[in-house]
Amino acid sequence: MVLTDTHTHLYYQTDNTLRADLMQRCLDNKVDRLFLPNVDAASVPLMFDLLEAYPANCYPMLGLHPCSVKEGWEEELAIIQPALHKHKIYAIGEIGIDLYWDKTFLTEQIRAFKLQIDWAKILNLPIVIHCRDAFDEVYEVLQEEKDQKLRGIFHCFVGTLEQAKKIIDLGFYLGIGGVVTYKNGGLDKILPQIDLQNIVLETDSPYLSPVPYRGKPNESSYLTYIAQKVAELHQTSIEKVAGITTENSKRIFGV
């Protein structure tokens, strides 16, 4: 059994000993594939340091998180962009729109989102979308940008069944994380109606820890709890969930 964490910020742990412990727990729990989304210019070297230490398990992405789109965001992108050509990159992300914390820079978030979608199309890469309190805005951009090259993952999906169908119809996969284990998270109601062929698994560590670790720092080894919950909701085995979602990740990222 191989589990794939399609979204983890494990590189935030910079203590080599603690990082080694995190990685060993991943491997002990069959979480062998870790996809690392960049968030800003400062996180680029952190991500590549982790990649250098664990090249057999880590797959980097690059992008500017919408919450990092503030004054000077063009300069941030100007720092990030050259790294696209220095290393093998597997997606542009995480990118998108976030209106939960601040609506001040919506126009700039949309501009940055579209610009990075262009990067993905030029490089023939998928995108990994961050969307919080902004489904309509993100969906409008995707409709405008829709073509044969537009594809990827709708990270940390927590929406409605109608929204899920819209995302799937665009050719995107749903990233399912710790929220699926929450009693009032809502995903347990709609996920049984979504085919396993349309989802991938993620932790978003160190955020959004699944039950029984909710409220504590998340880590990629906890992906097993997410996979088990998905298996329960689909009345199947964790091995089947791991197999299908890992194959889905291979189709998305090409590795």
Q: What are 121-145's pLDDT values in tens digits?
A: 999 999 999 999 999 999 999 999 9
Cβ–Cβ under 8 Å, residues 178 and 228 = no
Instruction: Give CA–CA dist 180/187, Å, rounded.
Output: 5
CA 80 to chain centre: 18
The CA R_g of the chain, rounded to the nearest whole Å, is 17
pLDDT of residue 163: 98
Domain count across the chain = 1
DSSP code of residue 207: S
Strand partners, 243: none
Dist CA 5 CA 95 (whole Å): 18
Does the reported pTM lie above 0.85? yes
For residue 236, what are the CA distances in angstroms to 186, 218, 230, 248, 250?
20, 25, 9, 17, 21
Shortest CA distance to 128 belongs to which of 166, 91, 156? 91
Q: Tally Cβ neighbours within 10 Å of residue 121.
A: 17
Start-to-end CA distance of the chain, whole Å, equals 17
- SS3 of residue 147 by DSSP: coil
| Interatomic CA distance for residues 123 and 253, integer angstroms | 12
Find the CATH number of the domain harbouring 95.
3.20.20.140
The pLDDT of residue 58 is: 98
pLDDT by residue, tens only, the chain of 255 residues: 999 999 999 999 999 999 999 999 999 999 999 999 999 999 999 999 999 999 999 999 999 999 999 999 999 999 999 999 988 999 999 999 999 988 999 999 999 999 999 999 999 999 999 999 999 999 999 999 999 999 999 999 999 999 999 999 999 999 999 999 999 999 999 999 999 999 999 999 999 999 999 999 999 999 999 999 999 999 999 999 999 999 999 999 999
Range of the domain at 92: 3-234+243-253
Query: Minimal CA–CA distance to 130: which of 38, 221, 50, 249?
Result: 38
